[in-house]
Amino acid sequence: MKTILYLTDLYFEANGRNYYEEDLFITSKLREHFNILIGNPQQAIAFLNKADLIVFRNTGAVIGYQEYFDGFVKAVQKQNINIFNSFDGKADIKGKQYLLDLMNTEYPVIPTVEHIKEIDTLGDSKKYIVKIKNGADSIGMEILTKEEILKAKPEGKLIQPFLDFEYEVSFYYLDDKFQYALYAPQKEKRWDLQEYDATPEDLDFAKQFIQWNNIKTGITRVDACRMKDGSLLLVELEDLNPFLSIELLSEEKRNSFMDNWVAVLKKLT
Ligand SMILES: Nc1ncnc2c1ncn2[C@@H]1O[C@H](COP(=O)(O)OP(=O)(O)O)[C@@H](O)[C@H]1O
Ligand SMILES: [Mg+2]
């Protein structure tokens, strides 16, 4: 049996989600196929060479240990370590800069600017949302009026109109293959998710971001919001450590996802 070093922060407190429960389930399945070592992402550098493959999972917002994480990424790249997700994404793994990149190339993303002087290009909005450029898990997110933003002069942040969307929906991909979709029917309950039947149009929407990012291997979550006119806009492209909400799937979907994942991991080892 090959060995996997499974990196996760079992005690990370995430709004509305129990990371460790997902990890208990996943590792219980993976151990049927691999020897499993479980490690903390903030102690991983010492163990880089202890496994055939590293699986980077529910490791929390890396902004909490940015320096260590940057060192980890460097070491992985330098030593050519076998890792899943591969660290070659252009999206969330690098912070939220990709929203600006995608905006500038006219992908359907929530309108986003970096500088106050560009705020008028976002159109008139009662409220705006200001996000830290390398934040996650809603850390440092503020909802402000234009006047408040002009006063606060945010730096290193992104500004978006605060949108009155209908609901949020997430599309989960394994490499470039769609696996399942979940949505939050109640807006204020972001993590009360239910299974969602993705239409071919939805998948065309999601796939363009997977193709743009073009990572070697990994699980990517495409988070989108459904606007009142029926269109979708990208909220987030999570290509580092997307929470999978795996316990919310039907047993059949969950098992088929796990089978697909095991097959990918086996190919990598
Ligand atoms: N422009 C926006 N308008 C309205 N709500 C938003 C907007 N951007 C984000 N949100 C809400 O905030 C949540 C977190 O935002 P997101 O961009 O995913 O940041 P994080 O990296 O913190 O997850 C989203 O899931 C959504 O509910
Ligand atoms: Mg998010």
User: Residue 71 belongs to a domain with what CATH number?
Assistant: 3.40.50
Residue at 43 is within a domain = yes
Q: Which domain holds residue 171?
A: 92-96+165-238
Given CA atoms 73, 29, 262, 243 in this order, what sign does their dihedral have?
Answer: negative
Cβ neighbours around 231 below 10 Å, total: 13
Q: What pLDDT score was predicted for residue 13?
A: 87
Question: In this structure, are 157 and 204 located in the same domain?
Answer: no
What ligand 1 atom has the least distance to the C-alpha of 238? 21
Question: In this structure, are 55 and 35 located in the same domain?
Answer: yes
Name the helix (H) or strand (E) containing 169: strand 167-174
Q: From ligand 1's centre to the CA of 140, what distance in Å?
A: 11
Cβ neighbours around 190 below 10 Å, total: 14
Residue at 104 is within a domain = no
- Distance from CA of residue 234 to its chain's centroid? 12
Residue bearing the CA closest to ligand 1, atom 15: 138
Residue bearing the CA closest to ligand 1, atom 7: 162
Q: From ligand 1's centre to the CA of 3, what distance in Å?
A: 37
Q: What pLDDT score was predicted for residue 255?
A: 97
Count of the separate structural domains present in the chain: 3
d(CA 56, CA 64): 16
Ligand 1 pocket check for 163: Cβ under 6 Å? yes
Entry pTM: 0.97
pLDDT digit string (tens) for the chain, length 269 residues: 999 999 999 999 888 888 999 999 999 999 999 999 999 999 999 999 999 999 999 988 898 899 999 999 999 999 999 999 999 999 999 999 999 999 999 999 999 999 999 999 998 999 999 999 988 788 889 999 999 999 999 888 999 999 999 999 999 999 999 999 999 999 999 999 999 999 999 999 999 999 999 999 999 999 999 999 999 999 999 999 999 999 999 999 999 999 999 999 999 99
Residue found under tokens 């499993």: 36
Residue at 177 is within a domain = yes
Token reading at 196:
């969602």
Q: Which of 120, 137, 161 is the last residue of a domain?
A: 161
What ligand 1 atom has the least distance to the C-alpha of 223? 18
Residue at 105 is within a domain = no
Ligand 1 pocket check for 138: Cβ under 6 Å? yes
Residue bearing the CA closest to ligand 1, atom 27: 190
Residue at 214 is within a domain = yes
Residue at 44 is within a domain = yes
Probe target for ligand 1 pocket from 102, 138, 143, with the most ligand atoms within 8 Å of CB: 138
Query: SS in 3 state form for the chain?
Result: CCEEEEECCCCCCECCECHHHHHHHHHHHHCCCCEEEEECHHHCHHHCCCCCEEEECCCCCHHHHHHHHHHHHHHHHHCCCCEECCCCCCCHHHCCHHHHHHHHCCCCECCCECCHHHHHHHCCCCCEEEEECCCCCCCCCEEECHHHHHHHCCCCEEEEECCCCCEEEEEEEECCEEEEEEEECCCCCCCCCEECCCCHHHHHHHHHHHHHHCCCCCEEEEEEEECCCCCEEEEEEECCCCCCCHHHCCHHHHHHHHHHHHHHHHHHC
What ligand 1 atom has the least distance to the C-alpha of 225? 26
Ligand 1 pocket check for 169: Cβ under 6 Å? no
Residue at 218 is within a domain = yes
Q: What pLDDT score was predicted for residue 66?
A: 93
Question: In this structure, are 81 and 155 located in the same domain?
Answer: no
Question: In this structure, are 17 and 79 located in the same domain?
Answer: yes
Ligand 1 pocket check for 190: Cβ under 6 Å? yes
Question: In this structure, are 32 and 61 located in the same domain?
Answer: yes
Q: From ligand 1's centre to the CA of 47, what distance in Å?
A: 34
Question: In this structure, are 69 and 142 located in the same domain?
Answer: no
Query: Tell me, what CATH number does 185's domain have?
Result: 3.30.470.20
d(CA 154, CA 143): 12
Residue at 106 is within a domain = no
